[in-house]
């Protein structure tokens, strides 16, 4: 049953007229009363009643872009590319089609992500783009799916950029795994089956996903082909989808090389350290890997920023890269090729994905087949990786 204005009024302990005044903003209301009403709206996830067509006609010129950390180049590149597509575009862009991007920095907080979506719902944003992975918590995913469903019901276009599809979550199913995403991009294999959709969801949000699993598998396979066997892995936060998919790809490559070697499987766990996606996590994580395995020959980092932190720690220990130890990253951020030595990494098409997400958000590009597109992840072999000394 849908939430009514009366339900919000009862929760806030005010009249329905007061709720209406707060939501419409056309009559002065005491600050404490306003706060109670807005809190009740959040708790009940109330959406203004009315046909979707009427709401769509009333959407604003705002486009919300949610990022975990705008200071992180991974998100900065995507946000810039998104904004380039939704703002004025010279003579080809009519004034009525121009939009204003609002960058919503969540700091990686699931609660803040939901709050921003509620605020954008109230503002009747024309579109919302969510970038990067999400927290794999069933309660959060259910709340996220509910908010996105209500945004779309109100005429807001929703695009996921670098995320797995959320439609199945609303039906209680699982999102696509890293292996499914990787399977869609491998020639000669059948594409992953489309997940069942909840009829109440309607068309699921368009999702542009990255081949994190396949890219990580190819990166670790590259190190194995060079002769490395003692490979440490610096993973991101354990609860994030991007972390899981990249770690699964790394371990898949190790498993293919090791076969049924149970001892190698135990080594894989021992040589995995979780941390953040920042430089300090790379620095501390590399030192921890060396403590666990002094004869380490290679380090794979969850992203390029972590890889740079790892390089700094290894140099401080007197190790040369790649002569003594190889280091690889992920994402191919702008600084990766200018590092010394240039960083072997996996290129994710961040700018292309952001630009495409911006066009999809404004309806300037048709949705891909099945409303999901998996973008490639290309191995970029550079000077930071080489055969280990024992086999060089």
pLDDT digits 0-9 by tens, 167-199: 543 333 334 444 443 333 433 333 333 434 444
Q: State how many domains the chain has.
A: 3
Q: What is the pLDDT of residue 185?
A: 40
Q: Among candidates 113, 71, 65, which has minimal Cα distance to 276? A: 71
> Once rounded to an integer, what is the mean pLDDT over residues 278-282?
97
**Does residue 170 sit in the same domain as residue 95?**
yes
**Does residue 199 sit in the same domain as residue 155?**
yes
**Does residue 198 sit in the same domain as residue 217?**
no
Q: What is the pLDDT of residue 204?
A: 82
> Once rounded to an integer, what is the mean pLDDT over residues 347-358?
98
**Does residue 327 sit in the same domain as residue 233?**
yes
User: Alpha-carbon distance 252 to 343, whole Å?
Assistant: 22
**Does residue 111 sit in the same domain as residue 7?**
no
**Does residue 33 sit in the same domain as residue 100?**
no
Output DSSP code: residue 91: G
Percent of the chain residues topping a pLDDT of 70:
81
Cα distance between the two ends of the chain = 68
Which two three-digit tokens encode residue 12?
């806030």
Range of the domain at 239: 213-347+378-391
Which two three-digit tokens encode residue 8?
């919000």
| Of the candidate ranges 93-107, 162-176, 316-330, the one whose mean pLDDT is the lowest | 162-176
Query: Which range in 135-149, 181-195, 289-303 is most confidently predicted, on average pLDDT?
Result: 289-303
**Does residue 64 sit in the same domain as residue 137?**
yes
Question: Between these two residues, 202 and 384, which has the higher pLDDT value?
Answer: 384
Q: What is the pLDDT of residue 265?
A: 58
**Does residue 25 sit in the same domain as residue 4?**
yes
**Does residue 191 sit in the same domain as residue 274?**
no
Q: What is the pLDDT of residue 193?
A: 38
Q: What is the pLDDT of residue 201?
A: 46
Instruction: Give the rounded distance of the alpha carbon of 182 from its chain centre.
Output: 16
Centre a 10 Å sphere on the Cβ of residue 209 and count the other Cβ atoms it contains: 26
Q: What is the pLDDT of residue 26?
A: 56
**Does residue 84 sit in the same domain as residue 158?**
yes
**Does residue 160 sit in the same domain as residue 61?**
yes
**Does residue 147 sit in the same domain as residue 75?**
yes
The answer, yes or no, to whether residue 54 has pLDDT greater than 50, is: no
Q: Among candidates 73, 74, 131, 64, which has minimal Cα distance to 103? A: 64
- pTM surpassing 0.75? yes
| CATH number for position 157 | 3.40.50.2300
């Amino acid at each position: 049953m849908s939430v009514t204005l009366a339900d919000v009024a009862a929760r806030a302990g005010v009249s329905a007229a007061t709720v209406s005044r707060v939501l419409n903003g056309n009559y002065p209301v005491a600050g404490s009363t306003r706060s109670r009403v807005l809190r009740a709206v959040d708790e009940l996830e109330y959406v203004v009643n009315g046909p979707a067509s009427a709401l769509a006609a009333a959407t604003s010129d705002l486009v919300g872009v949610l990022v975990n950390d705008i200071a992180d180049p991974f998100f900065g590149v995507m946000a810039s590319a998104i904004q380039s597509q939704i703002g004025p575009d010279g003579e080809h862009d009519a004034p009525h089609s121009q939009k204003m991007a609002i960058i919503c920095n969540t700091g990686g907080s699931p609660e803040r992500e939901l709050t921003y979506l509620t605020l954008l719902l109230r503002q009747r944003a024309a579109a919302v783009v969510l970038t990067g992975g999400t927290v794999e918590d069933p309660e959060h995913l259910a709340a996220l799916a509910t908010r996105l469903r209500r945004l779309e019901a109100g005429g807001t276009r929703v695009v996921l950029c670098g995320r797995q599809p959320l439609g199945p979550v609303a039906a209680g199913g699982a999102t696509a795994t890293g292996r499914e995403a990787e399977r869609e991009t491998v020639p000669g294999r059948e594409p992953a089956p489309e997940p069942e959709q909840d009829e109440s969801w309607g068309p699921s949000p368009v999702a542009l996903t990255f081949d994190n699993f396949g890219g990580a598998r190819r990166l670790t396979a590259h190190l194995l082909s060079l002769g490395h066997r003692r490979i440490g892995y610096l993973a991101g936060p354990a609860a994030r989808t991007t972390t899981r998919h990249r770690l699964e790809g790394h371990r898949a490559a190790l498993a293919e090389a090791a076969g049924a070697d149970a001892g190698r499987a135990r080594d894989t766990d021992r040589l995995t350290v979780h941390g953040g996606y920042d430089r300090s996590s790379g620095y501390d994580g590399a030192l921890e890997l060396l403590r666990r395995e002094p004869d380490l020959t290679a380090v794979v980092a969850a992203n390029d920023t972590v890889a740079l932190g790892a390089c700094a720690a290894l140099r401080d220990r007197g190790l040369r890269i790649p002569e003594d130890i190889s280091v690889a990253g992920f994402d191919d951020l702008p600084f990766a090729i200018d590092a010394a030595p240039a960083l072997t990494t996996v290129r994710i098409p961040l700018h292309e994905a952001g630009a495409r997400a911006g066009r999809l958000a404004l309806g300037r590009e048709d949705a891909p087949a099945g409303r999901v597109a998996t973008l490639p992840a290309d191995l970029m072999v550079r000077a930071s990786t080489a055969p280990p000394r024992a086999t060089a």
